[in-house]
Amino acid sequence: MKITKIETVRLDRHPNLIWVRLHTDEGLTGLGETWFGAGPVEADIHDRIAPLLIGEDPSRIEHFNRVLRSYAGFFGTGAEMRAVSAVDVALWDLAGKAAGKPIYDLLGGATRASIQVYNTCAGPDYVSQSADVRPDNFGLTGSGRKDFQDLDAFLNRADELAAELLEMGIKSMKIWPFDFAEGAGDGMDISTADLKRALEPFEKIRAAHGDAMRIKAELHGLWSLPAAKKIAAALEPIGADWIEDPIWMDRMAEIGELVQFTSQPIAGGETLGGLGQVRDLLTPGALSVPIIDVTWGGGITFAKKAAALAEGFAKPIAFHDCSGPVTLAASTHLALACPNVFEQEITRGFYYGWYHELVDQPPPIENGFIRASGDSGLGLDLLPGLAESNGATVRATTDAG
């Protein structure tokens, strides 16, 4: 089997998403995806990666995961790494289809039939217009979709939102009210008033539901170490599952200092990529839970190794998903195959809001647990006609020249 064409698809209505499809001379197609900076990713796939793949055997996944890394942008989660990640997922999808098996079988087999989810409480229009993760782009005044407006809900009725999730069987949720503090602009300090205001959603959930709902606090790397310490101290009575990305995850010494300061578990790392950066999160013994994004950090090949690396340190790992349906599918296959994954992130505002508008069958979720469909490869595909719909941009490369 040889790769004959590389195709990318983008949609105006989801400008952060890009899909890559690898076509072969045997009629099989592999699907990949990444998120943020779709234009630069598209250019890198066609200008740099396509000449390295056209005419090649797609089964050499490990080989291409190394060869496709660029000299510049070879680590982290820049456009080059996101391009490699999307292509790597597509290669695994092809391998599964060629073998007639789901990807988790190619990764050593499932360690469980399904895995529990936690809900990242974003609405369907969250970070939908650009890659800026700031309140102006949080979709609070979005397209008018009324269902699953979870970000507005956690700000104004967190106890009711928790009740809705518990009714669905979802027993863990992640919220980020600290992003709305005045001090979040530069992150140097947070006022007492803003600190108290940001704690209110956590306190509402605990008052209404006790420990029935597990809570994760997302800080998006916005804060200085002194401000992060204030926030961590204020969260101590809440008993959070973890505090995520309290500072930028490349400030290793400060992460270690924060870990020594608080009893709250610290998690993070989704904006990092490559095994070297995952190793740095683990070797100081600082992070309780490293988090990686499969379609940012290097694809399924990278993610499987990162999970094994974390397992070697007797730590769990978590796979990020607040992006697109293919990323969720790839993460679910990994979560089923990797024994040190405790739960899989979903964003129900995306999953129920628009994932079904893009793919034929997102991974099934039932009573708070997610599983893979059992079909070969990823188990899903883009909906027929999506690439031909209004607002679609399709680019194809068919030869190595």
In a domain, residue 376? The reply is no
Same domain, 195 and 315: yes
Same domain, 328 and 355: yes
| Among the ranges given (65-74, 192-201, 314-323), the one the predictor scored with the smallest mean pLDDT | 65-74
Q: pTM for this structure?
A: 0.96
In a domain, residue 210? The reply is yes
In a domain, residue 375? The reply is no
Which pLDDT band holds residue 142 (cuts at 50, 70, 90)?
Answer: low
Average pLDDT over residues 74-81: 88
Which pLDDT band holds residue 136 (cuts at 50, 70, 90)?
Answer: confident
Same domain, 169 and 310: yes
Which pLDDT band holds residue 300 (cuts at 50, 70, 90)?
Answer: very high
Average pLDDT over residues 240-253: 92
**pLDDT of the residue at 218:** 98
Which pLDDT band holds residue 336 (cuts at 50, 70, 90)?
Answer: very high
Same domain, 38 and 73: yes
Encoded tokens for 8: 């990318």
Long-range pairs for 192-197: beta carbons < 8 A, 24 or more residues apart: 195/230, 195/231, 195/234
Encoded tokens for 132: 């800026």
Strands in 3-11's sheet, in edge-to-edge order, are 29-35, 14-24, 3-11, 392-397
Separation of alpha carbons 114 and 298, rounded Å: 24
In a domain, residue 114? The reply is yes
DSSP string, 343-392: -EEE-HHHHTTTGGGTBS-PPPEETTEE----SSBTS--BPTTGGGSTTE
Same domain, 21 and 36: yes
Average pLDDT over residues 75-90: 94
Query: What is the chain's mean pLDDT, rounded?
Result: 94
**pLDDT of the residue at 128:** 78
User: CATH number for the domain including 388?
Assistant: 3.30.390.10
Range of 130's domain?
A: 105-370
Cite the beta strand spans of 184-286 per DSSP E.
Answer: 214-218, 242-244, 266-268
In a domain, residue 52? The reply is yes
Same domain, 197 and 332: yes
In a domain, residue 171? The reply is yes
pLDDT tens, 145-184? Answer: 678 999 999 999 999 999 999 999 999 999 999 999 999 9
**pLDDT of the residue at 143:** 57
Same domain, 199 and 58: no
Looking at residue 389, the DSSP 8-state letter turns out to be S
User: CATH number for the domain including 191?
Assistant: 3.20.20.120
Same domain, 138 and 263: yes
Separation of alpha carbons 264 and 252, rounded Å: 17
Is pLDDT at 358 greater than 80 in this prediction? yes
Same domain, 147 and 241: yes
pLDDT tens, 6-23? Answer: 999 999 999 999 999 999
Which pLDDT band holds residue 249 (cuts at 50, 70, 90)?
Answer: confident
User: Domain count of the chain?
Assistant: 2
